[in-house]
Amino acid sequence: MRHFKSDGVDIAYIDEGSADEPPILLIHGFASNVEVNWVSTGWVDALRKDGRRVVAFDNRGHGQSEKLYGLSNYGAPLMAEDARRLLDHLSIDRADVMGYSMGARITAFLAVNHPARVRSAIFGGLGIRMVTGVGSPEPIAAALEAPALEDVKDPVGRAFRSFAEQTGSDRKALATCLRSARAKITPEVLAMLHMPILVAVGTDDPVAGTPDDLVDLIPNARAFHIEGRDHMKAVGDRTYKAAVLEFLKEDA
């Protein structure tokens, strides 16, 4: 992976393709990274075969990017600025942007704060709970800080602790990220987004909330239901990939 400084924070990224291909920026979910979210799931290959320049980065506190331990070092609006600075670093004026779960929130803030930089957006793994919230982060943060997986009783916390261990994550950095201030995304703000938006959520996903209710708040949005997939398995689903590739073609 390559590296650049985002306001002094070291950010690891990939840039596959050439400047004459349409760019798409990928923003992964919590406790994940570029390799887990986008490479091993086949997304990078699928988008490259579709003739797209693929840019993706490890969010601060994740993967090969810098680990930070202060609450003020995180939050979706701040992490969206890492995305914007990466586009600046690569001299990309405008890109399609796809985020999954936490990455969808980051994508939303990028679109809200820098609409001219986002040609279209895909919110994966996050429906109406982008607005209503996904609940208290404390059970997951506590699970990440527990001495061992066996000590975690909360089922959601246990799932994220297990995932963090599988991805070799810095669990202290992740817990800090979770506890940082959560800026709200309101219906009024979403109503200001006019770029094409696809909201894709698994039909068995208890985390995301319904995509349809989120779509109702956004002028130029549509929903895609990833049939039979939960929050973890939806990200690599082939029908999800097909829907995204079609969406990108339709709105070219």
Output the domain CATH number for residue 55.
3.40.50.1820
* 252 has a pLDDT exceeding 70: no
* 251 has a pLDDT exceeding 80: no
What pLDDT sits at residue 156?
A: 86
Residue range of the domain that includes 201:
2-133+184-250
What pTM did the predictor assign? 0.97
Which residues pair with residue 200 across a beta bridge? 124, 224
What pLDDT sits at residue 72?
A: 96
- The reply to whether 238 falls in a domain is yes
- The reply to whether 158 falls in a domain is no
Mean pLDDT for all residues in the chain = 96
- The reply to whether 178 falls in a domain is no
* 31 has a pLDDT exceeding 70: yes
- The reply to whether 173 falls in a domain is no
Helix axes 171-179, 138-145, angle to 10 degrees: 160
- The reply to whether 231 falls in a domain is yes
- The reply to whether 138 falls in a domain is no
Q: What mean pLDDT do residues 69-75 have?
A: 96
- The reply to whether 69 falls in a domain is yes
102 in helix, strand or coil? Answer: helix
- The reply to whether 174 falls in a domain is no
For the chain, the domain total comes to 1
Query: Is there a contact between 76 and 106 (Cβ–Cβ < 8 Å)?
Result: yes
CB neighbours (10 Å) of residue 72?
10
Give the model's confidence band at 126: pLDDT under 50 very low, under 70 low, under 90 confident, else very high: very high
CA distance 125 to 209: 9
